[in-house]
């Protein structure tokens, strides 16, 4: 379990920018052609528009089979700190924002080595994603507004520390994995399931599972929701783009911790 509290900010005076912030786990430095990776990626921002971000997963160097999902945020991540967490066990992967699970991937035997299985480290980067991150490269990073800043605090790692060069798994890792899989945060509660369903129905604006142009046959881990399927085009994007406003409470941007208490629009 990797969890960090992040305030992501590029100078707010910018009209448009496309430098992206990434928090991710990977082992690309050790396994250059067979690396695993789990990503939280902020996709730049145009001032006054909803923030967008992406989650992704690679296993065993399967970069030609991206498993991207893209979302709108219901808050401004540059205003306050929020907790971004990745749960990775031998059975599933869950992405969280604060207490809200936004995506779960359950391991499927048909995935084979595409499911991450090798030791990974935690990284954070800021890099120029002008070619694709903001409206497909429509807006370019403006270095006039550098430096670009991301602030982190309260980093927490749960799991088994190991040397990726060692062929034998470190002693005690099996026990640590069992402890992790049985922890409270490893199970999505009924309340969290409701919050995740609400989030996904409102804020997902691309899902590879519904992109039949890219994947005529959905990858094996995809659980296709027939209700959500009706909301997406064959390109994996919504049939009808929604307008997203900032949720406010007492004049402040609503935090993710209050997400489950929002009234229906």
Cis preceding linkage at 39, omega within 30: no
Angstrom distance (rounded) from CA 78 to CA 245? 16
**C-alpha to C-alpha distance for 118 and 163, rounded to whole angstroms:** 10
Return all residues near 189 (Cβ < 8 A) that are at least 6 apart.
none
Q: Which of 41, 80, 110, 241 is catalytic?
A: 41
Task: Please say whether the beta carbons of 115 and 107 come within 8 A.
Answer: yes
Task: Quote the tokens at residue 100.
Answer: 């809200």
Q: Could you tell me how many residues make up the chain?
A: 265
| 2-9/19-26 β-pairing | unpaired
Task: Give 50's contacts (C-beta < 8 A, 6+ positions apart).
Answer: 72, 73, 244, 246
pLDDT tens per residue, the chain (265 residues)? 665 555 544 333 233 343 445 555 656 566 667 788 999 998 877 777 888 899 999 888 877 888 999 999 988 888 888 999 999 988 899 999 998 999 999 999 999 989 998 888 888 888 887 887 777 777 788 888 888 888 888 888 888 887 766 655 666 787 888 888 788 878 899 999 999 999 999 999 999 999 999 999 999 999 888 888 888 999 998 887 665 544 444 334 444 445 544 433 3
Distance from the Cα of residue 117 to its chain's centroid: 18
Active site residue 41: yes
């Amino acid at each position: 379990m990797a969890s960090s509290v992040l305030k992501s900010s590029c100078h707010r005076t910018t009209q448009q920018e496309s430098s992206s912030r990434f928090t991710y786990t990977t082992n690309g430095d050790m396994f250059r052609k067979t690396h695993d990776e789990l990503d939280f990626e902020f996709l730049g921002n145009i001032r006054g528009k909803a923030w967008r971000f992406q989650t992704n997963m690679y296993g065993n160097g399967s970069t030609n089979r991206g498993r991207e999902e893209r979302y709108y945020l219901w808050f401004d991540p540059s205003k306050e700190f929020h907790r971004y967490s990745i749960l990775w066990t031998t059975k599933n992967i869950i992405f969280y924002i604060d207490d809200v699970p936004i995506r779960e991937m359950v391991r499927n035997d048909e995935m084979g080595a595409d499911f991450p299985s090798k030791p990974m480290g935690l990284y954070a980067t800021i890099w120029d994603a002008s070619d694709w991150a903001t409206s497909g490269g429509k807006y370019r990073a403006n270095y006039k507004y550098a430096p670009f800043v991301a602030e982190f605090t309260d980093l927490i790692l749960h799991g088994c520390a190991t040397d990726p060069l060692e062929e034998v798994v470190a002693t005690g890792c099996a026990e640590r994995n069992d402890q992790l899989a049985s922890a409270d945060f490893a199970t999505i509660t009924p309340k969290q399931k409701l919050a995740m369903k609400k989030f996904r129905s409102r804020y997902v604006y691309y899902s590879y599972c519904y992109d039949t142009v890219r994947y005529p046959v959905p990858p094996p881990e995809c659980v296709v929701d027939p209700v959500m399927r009706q909301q997406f085009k064959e390109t994996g994007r919504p049939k009808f783009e929604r307008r997203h406003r900032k949720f406010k409470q007492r004049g402040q941007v609503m935090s993710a911790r209050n997400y489950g208490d929002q009234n229906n629009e």
